[in-house]
Structure 1
Amino acid sequence: MFFIGIFGIESKEKEIKYLTNISCSHCHSESSMKLFKTYNFFHFFFIPLFKWNEKYNLICSNCNTLYEIPNEKGKRIERGEEIEITYWDLKEVKTDFYNSYTTGNRCSHCGRTIEPHFEYCPYCGTRLRI
């Protein structure tokens, strides 16, 4: 017999770990960044059967800029290997996805919370991303 709700497709975000001493190109500082993985999966009776569309992302703790890193490096870090993330590994993601991890819009320079319609930060005067 077939019941609706027995199987389905879902998206998931999994926090992996905090990485330190990574250079952020937006706030121009060495900061810690949170590494997390996003993926889609098919499940049957709440048991995940297979995954696809895996991506590894970093969020800067100073300015909340979202970066994507190569999947090979992300998988190795997830397995517990000590891998160095360099400037060349970071690919900035231009999206509002990172807003789900923050409490609001933030200035990429000073990190202060601002209104979403501002073009310039009222605290430091930096032009905001559009």
Structure 2
Amino acid sequence: MFFIVGFSNRDEFIKEVNFKCTNCLNEKFELYQVANVLTFFFIPLFKFNKKALIVCKNCKSIYKVKSESLKKILDSSIVTYDDIEEIVRNNNVCPNCGYMIDKNDKFCPNCGNKL
């Protein structure tokens, strides 16, 4: 007899929220719940290591949300800087057009504006 037991990561989209990105100043974000899942014969048994993340729809910067702020965010769809625990990833983007740039670029390859 053998059992197929495994661990996997699950990302679950929850809703769209408003937050001012520190990188590109966009205000449209998506709220996700990310968790590790124990599976038995590919059936999820329980989730652990849950965390809430918001992802900028423009530059794809990722912010980790404080767990105690999650209920307030779900009710209001608004995230404030006090609700953020840490910046997980902050991409370099052009402040004019939001195009991803290299940190050594002097001009945006998309719109040509000086950085």
- The two structures have a TM-score, normalised by structure 2, of 0.73
Match of 1:89 among 68, 83, 91: 83
**Structure 2 partner of 1:67:** 63
Q: Is the alpha carbon distance of 1:61 and 1:15 closer, same or farther for their aligned partners in structure 2, counting shifts above 3 Å?
A: same
1:69-100, Cα deviation, whole Å (9 max, x unpaired)? 112333x279x5335421121231147xxxxx
User: How many residue pairs end up in the alignment?
Assistant: 109
Q: Distance in 2 between matches of 1:107 and 1:68?
A: 20
Match of 1:37 among 33, 37, 44: 33
Gapped runs of 5+ residues in structure 1?
96-104
- The two structures have a TM-score, normalised by structure 1, of 0.66
DSSP 3-state at the match of 1:81: helix
> Which fold has the larger relative contact order, with Cα–Cα distance below 8 Å and residues 6 or more apart in sequence?
2
Q: Distance in 1 between matches of 2:94 and 2:62?
A: 11
- RMSD of aligned Cα (Å): 2.7
DSSP 3-state at the match of 1:88: helix
Q: Tell whether 2:2 aligns with 1:2.
A: yes
The within-5 A match list for 1:1-130 is: 1-3=1-3, 6-20=4-18, 22-29=19-26, 31-74=27-70, 76=71, 81-82=75-76, 84-90=78-84, 91-94=86-89, 107=93, 109=95, 110-114=97-101, 119-120=104-105, 122-123=107-108, 124-126=113-115
Runs of 4+ in 1 over 4 A off after TM superposition: none
